[in-house]
Structure 1
């Protein structure tokens, strides 16, 4: 998974996820939003990404506890998206306004599509247009293209590769056949030698859970990096070092030079 550590077992990753949840929830209700680029918006956006990853992590753990494995893939993929957002915005707070513009652009397309479905009830797009206009000077390709967003942060190309692996089990289509079937000896009645599998284990489960650890740790480190006091820094990096992720976290959050 990384050049610094082997892929951990599922149990090892879940244990670390519980520790990360503990770090995050120890500060419940005590979030002070910092001003970045003169506005609280980037801090709010970063905090929301970490909070969502915490919710997704709890869901992943519950699925595993219920012996449901393949359904974790889209949740972990979403966590990775949130983590990349958090790290990118922490390093470039103006990226939040670029992301706001992109979200409004997508909303404008949705409004147009809905108007075609319901021409008798046209959408009010004035507020969307105001958002587009207010953020027009902050357009960035990274906000529109996830791969570019990954490349904008250290080790990001590796994260994009993880994203593509998780994508195979996050969309409907042919790739799911590999998870829901297995090869058996061919017979006259089954010349393809394929047997269907219910409640598959998920071939990449250990990798996926390891990626959830990386995503949660990256997002938490990004949040800590924008706070004046860095309250979680020591505990977070101690944990990251113990699982071989310290270098990645420090590079992603600009701490490598001070480590």
Structure 2
């Protein structure tokens, strides 16, 4: 039996990007009964995941795997949100409501700091947010969205790991530090290095492939005729997963 990722993670990312660009993204017909807001965002998230994957491949080929971590993290977010939208009746409206809240907070801060007068826009968002509170029942944190999808808790744990290297943290600083003999000129016993000691590139490029696959599965499942089903099933077999997007509480 063929081992998963026998050709390496980058080759699998490349295959999935080509599948999306040449076939999956060309026509999108939402399945009957799906909320338009859900369908639009699922397609957009899968499309952006493919575009991010192009950027991740470029960084990987240049040996900049650590620098790709924030892009892999965002791809994971896109894939999980797409999966959640597939199983949530009003998920599209819920994500829009989260965005409205965040924009209102940003406009309020800009106005309060006198950087610009955005009070009129803020007031309009206040009204929109009030409407959202009456109509949207499933506005959830990213962790809650992950937990609602079968297998999502494990993927959220990967997101936490990616987050360590996607912000200005000591984890990033540690990559550029190595132990050195303590002496009068080096009382701290450390040495800084220009090129980080990062040997996890293949692991995370494989995660990129898996998250791109998940995003494309969500986009295919959201369509009436599942146009990429056979090719995505082949990708499942190559990558050693048997993913079916369903609710975590499904029996």
2:61 counterpart of 1:61: no
C-alpha separation in 2, matches of 1:44 and 1:95: 11
C-alpha separation in 1, matches of 2:4 and 2:173: 25
2:194 corresponds to: 198
Gaps of 5+ in 1: none
Counterparts of 1:161-172 in structure 2 under 5 Å?
161-172=157-168
Counterpart of 2:47 (choices 48, 51, 56) is 51
Residue 186 of structure 1 deviates from its aligned partner by 3.2
2:117 counterpart of 1:129: no
2:155 counterpart of 1:159: yes
Residue 171 of structure 1 deviates from its aligned partner by 0.6
Residue 15 of structure 1 deviates from its aligned partner by 0.2
Gaps of 5+ in 2: none
2:88 counterpart of 1:89: no
1:175 corresponds to: 171
Q: Contact 1:88–1:152 (CA<8 Å) still a contact in 2? A: yes
C-alpha separation in 2, matches of 1:201 and 1:220: 33
Residue 126 of structure 1 deviates from its aligned partner by 4.2
2:211 corresponds to: 215
Residue 35 of structure 1 deviates from its aligned partner by 5.8
Q: Contact 2:97–2:139 (CA<8 Å) still a contact in 1? A: no
Counterpart of 1:73 (choices 69, 72, 80) is 69
Q: TM-score, normalised by structure 2?
A: 0.88
Q: Indicate how the Cα distance of structure 1 residues 6 and 150 shifts in structure 2: closer, same or farther if over 3 A, else same.
A: farther
1:116 corresponds to: 112
Secondary structure in 1 matching 2:166: coil
Secondary structure in 2 matching 1:135: helix
C-alpha separation in 2, matches of 1:141 and 1:152: 12
Q: Indicate how the Cα distance of structure 1 residues 41 and 33 shifts in structure 2: closer, same or farther if over 3 A, else same.
A: farther
Secondary structure in 2 matching 1:195: strand
Residue 33 of structure 1 deviates from its aligned partner by 4.0
Q: Contact 2:24–2:228 (CA<8 Å) still a contact in 1? A: no
Q: Contact 2:31–2:223 (CA<8 Å) still a contact in 1? A: no
Counterpart of 2:144 (choices 128, 145, 148) is 148
C-alpha separation in 2, matches of 1:76 and 1:64: 11
